[in-house]
Amino acid sequence: DAGVTQSPTHLIKTRGQQVTLRCSPKSGHDTVSWYQQALGQGPQFIFQYYEEEERQRGNFPDRFSGHQFPNYSSELNVNALLLGDSALYLCASSFTNYEQYFGPGTRLTVT
């Protein structure tokens, strides 16, 4: 049984560019959450998707947007990248309100 998978593993972008990160949830899971983990910090909640709708959102600007597809996979989009967006982006999946399982993350570097 594959766990949560994320792509790409690493990504380097330039300030002002746009980026799309992808997540495939664990089999049987229908909910996907995204977190940003800056170096040396704990993960910060960005948003959560359920039934293709954004169910809850953390304190992140509108530059951060997402999408969930009918097969429950999800994308995180970040527009107008800033240096401060450099971080590890973690995807977590769950079955409705049950415990969240995390993927290995995508390391984004903005130069």
Partner 1 sequence: GDSVTQMEGPVTLSEEAFLTINCTYTATGYPSLFWYVQYPGEGLQLLLKATKADDKGSNKGFEATYRKETTSFHLEKGSVQVSDSAVYFCALSSGGSNYKLTFGKGTLLTVNP
Query: Which two three-digit tokens encode residue 26?
Result: 């664990």
The least distance separating partner 1 from the CB of residue 103, rounded to whole angstroms, comes to 5
Using CB under 8 A as the binding rule, whether residue 103 contacts partner 1 is answered as: yes
Pairing of the two strands 106-110 and 10-13:
parallel
Q: Confirm or reject binding of residue 102 to partner 1 (CB under 8 A).
A: yes
Q: Select the span of 15-23, 33-41, 65-73, 75-83 touching partner 1 (CB under 8 A).
A: 33-41
Q: Which of 29, 20, 1, 6 is nearest to 106 (CA)?
A: 6
**Residues contacting partner 1: total by CB under 8 A:** 25
